[in-house]
């Protein structure tokens, strides 16, 4: 294994920069929220759009150093047993991200103004919030990694994700329906079942995307060796 991989810091520099950006935006947005409804919308906006987009950009930045037309020979020169390197790096990067983001999510949720003065934040509320916010981050990152693996370009995945998010945001989450990335923010999905299907769909692809990327890299390796 090349030395540069052995001592790779998994993009922790830009990772902490991205996290700092989130904190600054969060302070600005949450401070400007005048009431309970806008506070909730702000939290949903941060975790449905801002954080997933930042994390997908981080994934593109970290992995593009290996998956580019210029460096693609690096992937093809890997022994087959090393094909999991990208997948393992993805998992580690994701764990680092949520290690810092989850406490912030809990702090936001715990301090969110309650419409009912008797309401109490419990474990069920926290788990519900985690399920509501986690799928988008997983899915955005998975799409970024998969498109990066297929296109060998950082530009295409970023433009696609940014474009779809902007389109869905501007159409109030109504056009894409079950595929809406702003299902939390606008809450325009017509039923609980449809919202659950939306979260489950994004969560599933968040796990399937890296596996597809892994298969794509192994397929390219075998094709080039053959």
Considering Cα of 1, then 75, then 210, then 81, what sign does the dihedral take?
Answer: negative
Contacts of 180 (CB under 8 A, 6+ apart): 168, 173, 174, 186, 188, 189, 198
Residue 34 pLDDT more than 90?
no
Please determine, for residue 191, whether its predicted confidence score (pLDDT) is greater than 80: no
pLDDT digits (tens, 9 = 90+) for 99-156: 877 777 777 766 666 555 445 666 666 677 777 888 999 999 999 999 988 888 888 8
Q: Give the mean pLDDT of 178-200.
A: 80
- pLDDT tens by residue, 68-112: 666 666 666 665 555 567 777 788 888 888 887 777 777 776 666
Question: What does each C-alpha distance from 190 to 38, 79, 114, 173, 194 come to in angstroms?
Answer: 21, 50, 24, 11, 7
Query: Does the pTM of the predicted model rise above 0.75?
Result: yes
Q: Supply the pLDDT for residue 7.
A: 44
Give the whole-number percent of the chain exceeding pLDDT 90: 14
Six-digit token pair at 209? 């995307």
Of 17-21, 25-29, 104-108, 141-145, the range with the lowest mean pLDDT is: 104-108
């Amino acid at each position: 294994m090349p030395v540069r991989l052995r001592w790779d810091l998994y993009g922790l520099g830009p990772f902490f920069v991205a996290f700092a950006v989130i904190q600054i935006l969060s302070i600005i947005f949450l401070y400007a929220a005048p009431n309970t409804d806008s506070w909730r919308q702000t939290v949903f906006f941060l975790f449905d759009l801002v954080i997933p987009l930042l994390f997908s950009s981080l994934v593109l930045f970290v992995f593009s150093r290996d998956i580019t037309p210029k460096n693609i020979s690096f992937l093809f020169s890997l022994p087959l047993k090393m094909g999991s390197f990208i997948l393992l790096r993805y998992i580690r990067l994701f764990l680092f991200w949520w290690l810092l983001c989850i406490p912030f999510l809990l702090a936001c949720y715990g301090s969110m103004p309650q419409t009912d003065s008797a309401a109490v934040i419990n474990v069920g509320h926290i788990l519900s919030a985690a399920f509501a916010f986690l799928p988008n981050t997983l899915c955005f990152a998975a799409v970024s990694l998969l498109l990066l693996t297929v296109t060998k370009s950082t530009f295409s995945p970023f433009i696609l994700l940014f474009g779809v998010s902007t389109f869905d945001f501007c159409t109030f989450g109504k056009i894409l329906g079950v595929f809406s990335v702003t299902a939390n923010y606008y809450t325009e999905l017509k039923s609980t079942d449809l919202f659950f299907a939306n979260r489950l769909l994004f969560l599933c692809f968040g796990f399937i995307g890296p596996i597809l990327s892994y298969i794509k890299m192994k397929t390219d390796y075998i094709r080039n060796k053959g």
